[in-house]
Chain A
Amino acid sequence: MELRNICKSYHGRPVLQNVSFTIEPGVTALWAPSGAGKTTLLRILLGLERPDSGELLGTGVRWSAVFQEDRLLDGLDAMGNLRFALGSGWDEAAARRLLAELRLSDAEDRPVREWSGGMKRRLALARALLADAEAIALDEPFAGLDAENRRHGAECIARRAETTPVLLVTHDRADLEALNARIIELRQGEIRRGSTS
């Protein structure tokens, strides 16, 4: 997947300017301070917005995602949420194993509206990792998680990244340390540099 010279502006204010990079196997981390345009870039990748100009190679890719918000169905329990997003082809045994790994097994049967913010975040991560996707986009997946849950989450992401390209979008340096990622820095809507954490 590759982005070439992507530009996007809102009401004449440029948000992304000639952004180009490739998403390769493993974890690609897009690091940017708040307001730098990373969520806009993610929305373009997911097909939720169109760029003003530029080229997006790989538009037919099947994505799964953790959004900036959890975007869960509050009235459903964990399995209900997974069933909703993943459809008929999902592996229930694998889902239970992942929920256990993310330490959500105890709350599995309770509606999500009764869960804490951190638990909801982990369920949103589980949903993205379990989906039958060709690429995974994670927007601040560790937001609100303590160090231990962050470590568990990072392990699960790293395992999935062995087979599926993962794009991690974050403003938090600690997220980069948790994963062995290729880092792309986005500042004021422009790509500044790439490195490895």
Chain B
Amino acid sequence: MGEKTSKIRLWAVIFWLAVWQLAAMGLARAYPHGSLLLASPAAVLYRLGQLAVTTAFWQTVGWSAARIFGGFLLSTLLAVLLASLAAWKNGVGELLAPLVAVIKAVPVASFIILALVWLNSRSLSLFISALMVFPPVYLNVLEGIRRTDGQLLEMARVFRVPFSRRLRYIYLPQIMPYFRTAVSLGLGLCWKAGAAAEVIGLPAGSVGERLYTAKVYFQTPDLFAWTVTIVAVSVLFERLFLILTDWAARKVGG
């Protein structure tokens, strides 16, 4: 039932695009500068097409993607490592619990401002995306390890099965669904937070800087075009990373 209601249908997308187009047309008619308030989907698509053929566009996307995805990768590696340690030694989990709770509870804007004090603006999105990804990946992987079938682990212990085989046949099949969920959630979060950090920190050559410039000069089609780009790149990275993860799991799992 949940899957049926949450699935995105093409007709629903077309409906909302039509609503957007009509609203933009209505505003343009009602006010002399109505198109500045809301760019139409057609205008956004046109502007996106113009941007996409320039080298600067791809350099900007690459600049932000490298930092945001870099932060995601570093944080994911650290979270998996620490979750494994926490599952192995209770004390590690207890030590990390307040830290994870703080990262989850503190508003991202506070972290961005603090990071601007501590770091230069070029490292800002890397740090913020890493921070956003850590709690979901750490908590989910830890939960996956903790839910590993204890009876199977005992069996493996009695039969003296080496750790590599236990990892491949007992731990990984249990952890993978948790890891996938965390990655999906984490990638969405890190792009949202990373872009917000760039808008506040304004590192030169970033997507956030382009968003800010679009806002300052009332370039609404640019604002929407860059937003669409962020969403598209985020979804693309999520799909690619999950495909890569599934492939790696299949390789390891035989």
A: residues with CB less than 8 A from B are 46-48, 62-65, 67, 69, 71, 73, 75-76, 84-87, 127, 131
Contact = CB atoms under 8 A, between A and B. Distances in A.
B151 interface: yes
Nearest to B153: A71
Interface of B: 151-152, 154-162, 165, 169-170, 173
B155 A71 contact: yes
A158 B161 CA distance: 26
A64 B159 contact: yes
Contacts of A65: 155, 158
Given A73-B152, A84-B156, 13 more contacts: A46-B158, A47-B157, A48-B154, A71-B152, A71-B155, A84-B165, A85-B155, A85-B156, A85-B159, A86-B159, A87-B160, A87-B162, A87-B165
Nearest to A137: B158
Contact of A67 (B155, B160, B165): B155
A84 B162 CA distance: 9
Nearest to B253: A75
A67 B159 CA distance: 12
Contacts of B156: 84-85
What is the predominant secondary structure among interface residues of chain A facing chain B? Answer: loop
A69 B151 CA distance: 8
25 contacts: A48-B154, A48-B157, A48-B158, A62-B160, A65-B155, A65-B158, A67-B151, A69-B151, A71-B151, A71-B152, A71-B154, A71-B155, A73-B152, A75-B173, A76-B169, A84-B156, A84-B161, A84-B165, A85-B156, A85-B159, A85-B161, A87-B160, A87-B161, A87-B162, A127-B159
A37 to B, nearest CB: 18
Nearest to B168: A84
A27 to B, nearest CB: 19
Contacts of A75: 173
Given A48-B154, A67-B151, A73 B159 contact: no
Q: Which 6 A-B pairs have the closest CB atoms?
A: A71-B155, A85-B159, A71-B151, A46-B158, A65-B158, A84-B169
Contacts of B173: 75
B117 to A, nearest CB: 51
A119 B173 CA distance: 23
Contacts of B152: 71, 73
B158 A63 contact: yes
B184 to A, nearest CB: 23
A86 B154 CA distance: 15
Contacts of A127: 159
A124 B151 CA distance: 13
B158 A73 contact: no
Nearest to B155: A71
Contacts of A47: 157-158
B230 to A, nearest CB: 38
